[in-house]
Amino acid sequence: MRCGYRSIRITCWTVSVRQPNLQNVTINADVQAAGIPAPTDQSNPRGRVLQVGPLMPVVQSTIVAEHHAVRVPDGQARQAFLDEHGSEFTVAVTSGKIGVDSALMAALPNLLAVVNFGVGYDTTDVAQARSRGIQISNTPDVLNDCVADTALALLLDVFRRTSAADRFVRRGAWQKGNFPLASKLSGKRIGIVGLGRIGTAIAQRLEGFNCVISYHNRKPAVGSEYRYVGSLTELAADSDALIIAAAGGADSVKLISAEVLAALGPQGYLVNIARGSVVDEAALVAALLSGDLGGAGLDVFADEPNVPEALLALDNVVLLPHLASGTLETRAAMAELTLTNLEQFVSTGTLLTPIAG
C-alpha cells in the first residue's frame, strides 16, 4: 500500500482511502467566519484548486489538506468572490451533478483543467473548455458494474413488479387475494440505447437471462456481436424494453421522444440509468398515465431531486434517487480516481482519464 493511504474495511471488502495531512491546511479565520473560503498562496502554477459544489468527504478533505483547495461560494457571495479571486484558479474539482457551467468557466480565465467526480460531465461546458484548451477528466470504468447492476435491478422490478408486490403485502392486500400476475424477463427482446462501457456491461448481464439484445448508437460499435439498429424508433418497436445508457449533453436532450415511447407501446418498458435529460419527461409521464407505455424504472430525472408528482402514485413505475453508482466500493474507487487525476495534473499537466475529444 502506498504511503499516505490507510485501509478501511467496509463490510467484507477492503478499500484504500487517502488519509489527508491536516497539518497542511491553511485557514483564514475571518473569511471562514463569514462563510467564504479564502485562497492560499501556492507555488505550483498548476496547483491552485477550486472546489465547485459538495464532494464526497474524503475527496473534499484531501483536496483541502493536500492542495489548499477552497470552495466557490453559492448565492450572492459567488460573484464578488470570483471578481476578486477568479483569475487565481487553474484547476476546478467538481461532480457530475454540479459541473462547471458556462458562467463559472468564463469567470475563471486561467482555468486549465476540470477534474470531475463521476462518469457524466454534461453539466460542464465542454464546448467552451475545448475552445480554451481546458482539459476535463471523469471517472470511467470503476462504476460500470454497479450502474449495470442497477439497470438489471430496475428491469427485473418493472417486469416482475417486485416493488409493487412488496407494497401489496405491507398494506395487507394479500389477505384479500393474490397479487396480479406479472411478466417474465428471461428471453425478452431488450434494446440498449448507448452501447458504451456501461451499455456493454448491461448487455453481458442480459445474456444470462437469454435475452435477445439489440442496440442503437450513432454508429455500430466496433467488435460488437449484438444487433445494431440504425433507427431509434425501429429499435423501440422491436423491443420489449428499452434501457437508456446514452451519455447526457446537448446532443442527447429528449432523445427518447414521444414517438419512441409510442413505438415501445403499452406492453413495453423503459429503464433509464443515464441522464434525465435524455428522455422527454413530459411525454414519458403522459404515456404512463394514458397506458400507452407499460411501465418504467427510473434512476434519473430531468430536474433532480424533483420528481414529477404524477409518477409517485403509479404502481407500474419504480423510482430511485440517482443511486446507480451508490455503493461503498464504487464511490471509494471514484474518489481515488478523482484524486489521482488531480495529483497527476498538478504534477505533470496531464490527466489520467481525460474525456474523449
Closest CA to 266 of 229, 213, 316, 191: 316
Q: What angle do CA 190, 294, 278 make, to 5 degrees?
A: 65
**Which grid cell is 202?**
448491461
Q: Which residues contact 171 (CB under 8 A, 6 or more apart)?
A: none
**Is 67 an annotated catalytic residue?**
no
**Is 304 an annotated catalytic residue?**
yes
Catalytic-role residue among 85, 275, 331, 336:
275
Closest CA to 121 of 135, 107, 137: 137
**62 touches 6 (CB < 8 A):** no
Q: Where are the alpha helices (DSSP H) in the chain?
A: 29-33, 57-67, 77-85, 102-106, 126-132, 144-160, 162-170, 197-207, 232-237, 258-264, 281-290, 309-312, 328-348
Cis peptide before 305 (omega within 30 of 0): yes
Closest CA to 242 of 269, 265, 267: 269
**299 touches 160 (CB < 8 A):** no
Closest CA to 224 of 192, 248, 185, 255: 192
Rounded to whole angstroms, the Cα distance separating 332 from 62 reads 13
**129 touches 102 (CB < 8 A):** no
Catalytic-role residue among 78, 322, 329, 343:
322
**Is 322 an annotated catalytic residue?**
yes
**One-letter-per-residue 3-state SS of 39-82:** CCCCCCCCCCEEECCCCCHHHHHHHHHHHCCEECCCCCHHHHHH
Distance of CA 125 to the CA centre of its chain: 16
Catalytic positions are 275, 304, 322
